[in-house]
Amino acid sequence: MLSQTDAVSSTGLRRRLYLLAFVDEFGPVYAVWTLWFNDHDVSTSQISTAFLIWAFVALALEIPSGALADRVDRRRLLAAAFGIRAAAISLWLVWPTFTGLVIGATMWATHDALASGSWEALIHDELTAVGDERHYARVMARISQFSNLGIAAGTLLGAGLLSDRVGVGLAALGWMTVAAHVGSVSLVTTLPDVRWVAGDDEPFTYRAWWTTLRNGVAEARRVRIIGKLIVLGALLEGLFLFDEYVPLLSRERGGSDAAASAIYLVVWVGLLVGGEVAARRPSARGAGIGAAMLAGTAVTATALLTDPVWTLALLAVGYAIHEVAWVPTDARLQERASPEMRATVTSVRGFGSNSISMLFFVVVAVLANGDDPTPGLVAALGLLGITGVLLIAWLPPASSADADA
């Protein structure tokens, strides 16, 4: 295994990771899949209910799958996750009912649980294997940018194909997205095998898995700074779901499906900008990040409370600031977590984020005004404000290595 890793330079490894991040998020249907069900008489409340079930399943599987990722080859685990998501989208396309939505959401939630923790831990180990782990924050910021580029490219393609001039339907976009998963599975399975870095190349046993799960949860509870970083990450990850409702918000304001895709694209361009700032400032301090989060919350409120369709594009500001906050929060957790339990500790954060997501979807479903999700989305802004305050109080400084990166 060591010789295989040595054959890959730091630059070559980064390029592979960036390409995987792009291909994995390239899905022309991702921006508008809720419209597919809306067109088949699945209501906003039913969609929010499916979101809630999605979050519940991911919640139940989150920490056990994280411990699994600390005991088996993370590359194969991620490949399985990609395959399950492709199957979920396929099911939605052939069975666009509330029942089909729920079953597909359950499958996608399984994908989310398997990938959560595995992805970050795999990247950290891959970088460690080539002596580049001190640049984790910067690499993750770039990976996030390439993920968002993949989303933007897929969304742009989808908007063009949905236009009146071309007239391709939502079903065609869905099958294109399914086909893109071939690239994701191929790329992740060809990454170097670096299980030796985390010491998880021993044969899998139930006892070893249970010990890893128990120790990882104990570390998250026992180490105060890790606990604070888990709470911050859970809030950031669990609250930024506003983009899921952009197509419905656009329709409520009289926008076309193509307009919804264009607005969604602008929102993800905001993430690209935020990723660039995070890559250039990996050692940003909590005070500045928290203050920016509070400002972004105000801009998000403006986007939700004004009537013109184009003001939804202001969500891009909030998402840019989210990225600036997310990258250092994740990096400072990864550098402090024990290597042999990194995926498990990260999955504890995922458990928290899924819990918050469930609350988010419940609020939106209960407060929805017909097909308009605005009341619930506005109610969620209070927690975003709290997140900004906690970032100021809790986000620790970067390690000296990160600060020099």
Q: What is the pLDDT of residue 167?
A: 75
Q: If you average pLDDT over residues 12-27, what whole number do you get? A: 93
Q: What is the pLDDT of residue 18?
A: 95
Residue 50: strand, helix, or coil: helix
Burial of 324 (0-12, 13-18, 19+ CB in 10 A): buried
The mean pLDDT of the chain is 87
Contacts of 174 (CB under 8 A, 6+ apart): 29, 33, 36, 89, 92, 93
Q: If you average pLDDT over residues 299-321, what whole number do you get? A: 92
Q: If you average pLDDT over residues 282-289, what whole number do you get? A: 90
Residue labelled with tokens 């990194």: 342
Residue 31: strand, helix, or coil: coil
**3-state SS string for 220-231:** HHHCHHHHHHHH
What does the alpha-carbon distance between residue 191 and residue 5 come to, in Å, rounded to a whole number? Answer: 9
pTM for the whole thing? 0.80
What does the alpha-carbon distance between residue 396 and residue 289 come to, in Å, rounded to a whole number? Answer: 11
For 2-404, CATH gives 1.20.1250.20
Residue 245: strand, helix, or coil: helix
pLDDT, tens only, 175-205: 999 999 999 999 999 998 887 665 666 677 7
Phi/psi of residue 171, nearest 5 degrees: -60, -40
- Inter-CA distances, 60 with 102, 247, 398, 399, Å: 16, 29, 32, 33
Q: What is the pLDDT of residue 63?
A: 92
Encoded amino acid at 385, one letter: G
User: In sequence order, what DSSP letters do the residues of 90-148 get, joined into one string?
Assistant: HHHHH--SHHHHHHHHHHHHHHHHHHTTHHHHHHHHHHHHTT-GGGHHHHHHHHHHHHH
For the chain, what percent of residues have pLDDT higher than 70? Answer: 94
Cβ count within 10 A of residue 225? 12
Q: What is the pLDDT of residue 108?
A: 95
CA atoms within 13 A on the CB side of 256: 8
pLDDT, tens only, 342-352: 899 999 998 99
Query: Is the CB of residue 337 less than 8 Å from the CB of residue 202?
Result: no
Highest averaged pLDDT of the listed ranges 87-96, 132-141, 241-250, 261-270? 87-96
CA atoms within 13 A on the CB side of 40: 18
What does the alpha-carbon distance between residue 311 and residue 213 come to, in Å, rounded to a whole number? Answer: 45
Note the Cα 113 to chain centre separation in Å: 11
Q: What is the pLDDT of residue 90?
A: 96
- Give the residue extent of every domain in the chain: 2-404
